[in-house]
Amino acid sequence: MEIKRVCVLGAGLMGHGIAQVCAQVGKFEVNMRDIEQPFIDTGMKMINDSLQRFVKKGTMTERESQEVRGRIHPTLDLTEAVQDADLVIEAITENPPLKKAVLSEVDKHAPPHAIIASNTSSISITEIGGATKRPEKVCGMHFFNPPQLMRLIEIIRGLKTSDDTVEVIKSVSTKLGKECVVVKKDTPGFIVNRILVPALNEAVFLVEEGVADPEDIDKAVMLGLNWPMGPLKLIDYVGADTNLFITGVMVNETGDQKFRPSTLLRQMVRGNLLGRKTGKGFYDWSEKK
Catalytic residue among 65, 193, 201, 262: 193
Catalytic residue among 119, 154, 243, 262: 154
Active site residue 73: no
Active site residue 154: yes
Catalytic residue among 65, 119, 121, 201: 121
Active site residue 16: no
Torsion of the alpha carbons at 49, 21, 124 and 247, rounded to the nearest 10: -40
Active site residue 94: no
Catalytic residue among 31, 142, 201, 262: 142
Q: What CA–CA distance (Å, rounded) separates 165 from 198?
A: 31
Closest Cα partner for 39 from 3, 79, 91, 102?
Answer: 91
Catalytic residues: 121, 142, 154, 193
